[in-house]
Amino acid sequence: MLNLRQLSIVDRVIIEVDKAITTVFGQPETTQREVPGSHLNETTSLTSSEKKHSAGLMRVNHSGEVSAQALYQGQALTAKLPEIRQAMEQAALEENDHLVWCEQRLITLSSHRSVLNPIWYAGSFAIGAVAGKIGDKWSLGFVAETEKQVVKHLDEHLQQLSPSDIKSRAVLEQMREDEGHHRSMALDAGGAELPIPVKILMSITSKVMTKTSYWI
Protein backbone atom coordinates (compact mmCIF):
# COMPACT_ATOMS: atom_id res chain seq x y z
CA MET A 1 0.00 0.00 0.00
CA LEU A 2 1.35 3.45 -0.89
CA ASN A 3 2.35 5.79 1.93
CA LEU A 4 0.87 9.10 0.82
CA ARG A 5 3.06 11.04 3.25
CA GLN A 6 6.17 9.93 1.34
CA LEU A 7 4.85 11.07 -2.03
CA SER A 8 5.29 14.48 -3.59
CA ILE A 9 2.32 16.79 -4.15
CA VAL A 10 2.48 16.08 -7.89
CA ASP A 11 2.44 12.32 -7.28
CA ARG A 12 -0.56 12.59 -4.99
CA VAL A 13 -2.45 14.76 -7.48
CA ILE A 14 -1.76 12.25 -10.28
CA ILE A 15 -2.97 9.35 -8.11
CA GLU A 16 -6.19 11.12 -7.16
CA VAL A 17 -6.91 12.25 -10.73
CA ASP A 18 -6.41 8.66 -11.91
CA LYS A 19 -8.82 7.39 -9.24
CA ALA A 20 -11.38 10.02 -10.22
CA ILE A 21 -11.21 9.17 -13.93
CA THR A 22 -11.43 5.45 -13.21
CA THR A 23 -14.41 5.90 -10.88
CA VAL A 24 -16.41 8.22 -13.14
CA PHE A 25 -15.52 6.84 -16.56
CA GLY A 26 -13.65 3.56 -16.24
CA GLN A 27 -13.61 0.17 -14.50
CA PRO A 28 -12.49 0.60 -10.87
CA GLU A 29 -10.73 -2.02 -8.77
CA THR A 30 -13.15 -4.21 -6.81
CA THR A 31 -13.08 -6.98 -4.19
CA GLN A 32 -14.06 -9.46 -6.94
CA ARG A 33 -17.19 -10.50 -5.08
CA GLU A 34 -19.88 -12.30 -7.04
CA VAL A 35 -22.61 -10.00 -8.32
CA PRO A 36 -25.68 -10.39 -6.07
CA GLY A 37 -28.48 -12.21 -7.88
CA SER A 38 -26.19 -13.54 -10.60
CA HIS A 39 -27.75 -16.97 -10.12
CA LEU A 40 -31.24 -15.59 -10.76
CA ASN A 41 -32.86 -15.59 -14.18
CA GLU A 42 -33.53 -12.20 -15.74
CA THR A 43 -37.25 -11.51 -15.71
CA THR A 44 -39.07 -10.65 -18.92
CA SER A 45 -42.25 -9.53 -17.21
CA LEU A 46 -41.19 -5.94 -16.49
CA THR A 47 -43.36 -3.37 -18.24
CA SER A 48 -41.65 -0.49 -20.04
CA SER A 49 -42.56 1.90 -17.20
CA GLU A 50 -41.27 -0.53 -14.55
CA LYS A 51 -38.04 -0.98 -16.48
CA LYS A 52 -37.63 2.78 -16.82
CA HIS A 53 -38.27 3.27 -13.10
CA SER A 54 -35.78 0.54 -12.15
CA ALA A 55 -33.19 2.20 -14.39
CA GLY A 56 -33.83 5.57 -12.74
CA LEU A 57 -33.39 4.09 -9.28
CA MET A 58 -30.21 2.24 -10.26
CA ARG A 59 -28.84 5.44 -11.83
CA VAL A 60 -29.44 7.25 -8.53
CA ASN A 61 -27.65 4.48 -6.64
CA HIS A 62 -24.78 4.49 -9.12
CA SER A 63 -24.35 8.24 -8.60
CA GLY A 64 -24.52 7.68 -4.86
CA GLU A 65 -21.68 5.18 -5.12
CA VAL A 66 -19.62 7.64 -7.18
CA SER A 67 -20.12 10.16 -4.38
CA ALA A 68 -19.29 7.58 -1.70
CA GLN A 69 -16.13 6.59 -3.51
CA ALA A 70 -15.04 10.24 -3.70
CA LEU A 71 -15.92 10.80 -0.05
CA TYR A 72 -13.80 7.87 1.11
CA GLN A 73 -10.89 8.80 -1.14
CA GLY A 74 -10.93 12.38 0.11
CA GLN A 75 -11.01 11.23 3.72
CA ALA A 76 -8.27 8.63 3.20
CA LEU A 77 -6.07 11.37 1.73
CA THR A 78 -6.30 13.58 4.81
CA ALA A 79 -6.93 11.05 7.62
CA LYS A 80 -4.37 11.38 10.39
CA LEU A 81 -4.28 7.83 11.80
CA PRO A 82 -2.97 5.02 9.54
CA GLU A 83 -5.65 2.57 10.73
CA ILE A 84 -8.39 5.08 9.85
CA ARG A 85 -6.87 5.61 6.41
CA GLN A 86 -6.75 1.85 5.85
CA ALA A 87 -10.38 1.44 6.92
CA MET A 88 -11.41 4.19 4.49
CA GLU A 89 -9.52 2.54 1.66
CA GLN A 90 -11.14 -0.84 2.34
CA ALA A 91 -14.59 0.75 2.46
CA ALA A 92 -13.84 2.53 -0.82
CA LEU A 93 -12.96 -0.82 -2.41
CA GLU A 94 -16.29 -2.29 -1.31
CA GLU A 95 -18.09 0.80 -2.63
CA ASN A 96 -16.47 0.02 -5.99
CA ASP A 97 -18.30 -3.31 -5.95
CA HIS A 98 -21.56 -1.39 -5.67
CA LEU A 99 -20.48 0.95 -8.45
CA VAL A 100 -19.86 -1.94 -10.85
CA TRP A 101 -23.02 -3.82 -9.84
CA CYS A 102 -25.21 -0.75 -10.44
CA GLU A 103 -23.63 -0.06 -13.81
CA GLN A 104 -24.16 -3.66 -14.91
CA ARG A 105 -27.85 -3.35 -14.02
CA LEU A 106 -28.09 -0.09 -15.96
CA ILE A 107 -26.61 -1.78 -19.02
CA THR A 108 -29.01 -4.70 -18.69
CA LEU A 109 -31.91 -2.26 -18.36
CA SER A 110 -30.71 -0.49 -21.55
CA SER A 111 -29.98 2.72 -19.68
CA HIS A 112 -27.01 4.92 -18.79
CA ARG A 113 -25.18 6.38 -15.82
CA SER A 114 -25.74 10.02 -14.84
CA VAL A 115 -23.89 12.66 -16.85
CA LEU A 116 -23.63 14.64 -13.59
CA ASN A 117 -21.30 12.10 -11.96
CA PRO A 118 -18.15 14.25 -12.39
CA ILE A 119 -19.87 16.99 -10.38
CA TRP A 120 -20.92 14.59 -7.63
CA TYR A 121 -17.39 13.17 -7.45
CA ALA A 122 -15.69 16.55 -7.22
CA GLY A 123 -18.04 17.85 -4.55
CA SER A 124 -17.90 14.69 -2.43
CA PHE A 125 -14.11 14.46 -2.66
CA ALA A 126 -13.78 18.04 -1.41
CA ILE A 127 -16.17 17.38 1.48
CA GLY A 128 -14.32 14.20 2.41
CA ALA A 129 -10.93 15.89 2.33
CA VAL A 130 -12.16 18.74 4.53
CA ALA A 131 -13.79 16.31 6.97
CA GLY A 132 -10.58 14.29 7.21
CA LYS A 133 -8.55 17.43 7.77
CA ILE A 134 -10.78 18.59 10.62
CA GLY A 135 -10.20 15.37 12.51
CA ASP A 136 -10.69 11.63 12.31
CA LYS A 137 -13.60 11.50 14.75
CA TRP A 138 -15.55 14.04 12.68
CA SER A 139 -14.53 12.34 9.45
CA LEU A 140 -15.82 9.04 10.80
CA GLY A 141 -18.96 10.73 12.07
CA PHE A 142 -19.56 12.08 8.59
CA VAL A 143 -19.20 8.54 7.18
CA ALA A 144 -21.65 7.17 9.76
CA GLU A 145 -24.28 9.79 8.96
CA THR A 146 -23.77 9.40 5.21
CA GLU A 147 -24.24 5.64 5.42
CA LYS A 148 -27.31 6.09 7.62
CA GLN A 149 -28.91 8.26 4.95
CA VAL A 150 -27.86 5.86 2.20
CA VAL A 151 -29.52 2.94 4.00
CA LYS A 152 -32.69 5.03 4.27
CA HIS A 153 -32.62 5.69 0.51
CA LEU A 154 -32.03 2.01 -0.22
CA ASP A 155 -35.00 1.04 1.94
CA GLU A 156 -37.16 3.45 -0.07
CA HIS A 157 -35.88 2.08 -3.36
CA LEU A 158 -36.52 -1.51 -2.30
CA GLN A 159 -40.12 -0.53 -1.61
CA GLN A 160 -40.46 1.18 -4.99
CA LEU A 161 -38.92 -1.58 -7.12
CA SER A 162 -41.24 -3.82 -9.06
CA PRO A 163 -41.54 -7.25 -7.37
CA SER A 164 -40.55 -8.69 -10.75
CA ASP A 165 -37.16 -6.97 -10.78
CA ILE A 166 -35.50 -9.58 -8.60
CA LYS A 167 -31.96 -8.98 -9.86
CA SER A 168 -31.98 -5.26 -9.00
CA ARG A 169 -33.48 -6.14 -5.64
CA ALA A 170 -30.65 -8.60 -4.91
CA VAL A 171 -28.08 -5.91 -5.67
CA LEU A 172 -29.76 -3.31 -3.47
CA GLU A 173 -30.17 -5.72 -0.56
CA GLN A 174 -26.46 -6.54 -0.55
CA MET A 175 -25.59 -2.87 -0.86
CA ARG A 176 -27.82 -2.13 2.13
CA GLU A 177 -26.00 -4.76 4.19
CA ASP A 178 -22.58 -3.36 3.24
CA GLU A 179 -23.58 0.25 3.95
CA GLY A 180 -24.85 -0.75 7.38
CA HIS A 181 -21.51 -2.44 8.05
CA HIS A 182 -19.62 0.69 6.98
CA ARG A 183 -21.71 2.78 9.36
CA SER A 184 -20.99 0.41 12.24
CA MET A 185 -17.29 0.47 11.38
CA ALA A 186 -17.23 4.26 11.51
CA LEU A 187 -19.05 4.41 14.83
CA ASP A 188 -16.91 1.66 16.41
CA ALA A 189 -13.77 3.51 15.31
CA GLY A 190 -14.86 6.60 17.26
CA GLY A 191 -17.11 8.53 14.90
CA ALA A 192 -18.66 11.60 16.53
CA GLU A 193 -22.33 12.58 16.35
CA LEU A 194 -22.67 15.41 13.84
CA PRO A 195 -24.49 18.66 14.67
CA ILE A 196 -28.14 18.79 13.56
CA PRO A 197 -27.58 21.61 10.99
CA VAL A 198 -24.88 19.50 9.27
CA LYS A 199 -27.23 16.51 9.09
CA ILE A 200 -29.98 18.67 7.58
CA LEU A 201 -27.59 20.10 4.98
CA MET A 202 -26.42 16.59 4.08
CA SER A 203 -30.04 15.48 3.66
CA ILE A 204 -30.87 18.42 1.40
CA THR A 205 -27.77 17.79 -0.74
CA SER A 206 -28.68 14.10 -1.00
CA LYS A 207 -32.20 14.95 -2.18
CA VAL A 208 -30.84 17.26 -4.89
CA MET A 209 -28.57 14.49 -6.19
CA THR A 210 -31.38 11.93 -6.02
CA LYS A 211 -33.88 14.04 -7.93
CA THR A 212 -31.48 15.05 -10.70
CA SER A 213 -29.67 11.72 -11.17
CA TYR A 214 -32.95 9.87 -11.58
CA TRP A 215 -33.54 11.68 -14.89
CA ILE A 216 -30.13 12.90 -16.07
| CA triple 27-25-62, angle to 5 deg | 80
* Residue 147 annotated as binding site: yes
* Residue 181 annotated as binding site: no
Q: Cα separation of 62 and 7, whole Å?
A: 31
* Residue 179 annotated as binding site: yes
For the chain, first and last CA: distance in Å? 37
Q: Cα separation of 111 and 74, whole Å?
A: 29
Q: Cα separation of 62 and 23, whole Å?
A: 11
* Residue 177 annotated as binding site: no
Burial of 43 (0-12, 13-18, 19+ CB in 10 A): middle
* Residue 173 annotated as binding site: no
* Residue 53 annotated as binding site: no
Q: Cα separation of 75 and 56, whole Å?
A: 29
Binding residues for Fe cation: 65, 95, 98, 147, 179, 182
Binding residues: 65, 95, 98, 147, 179, 182
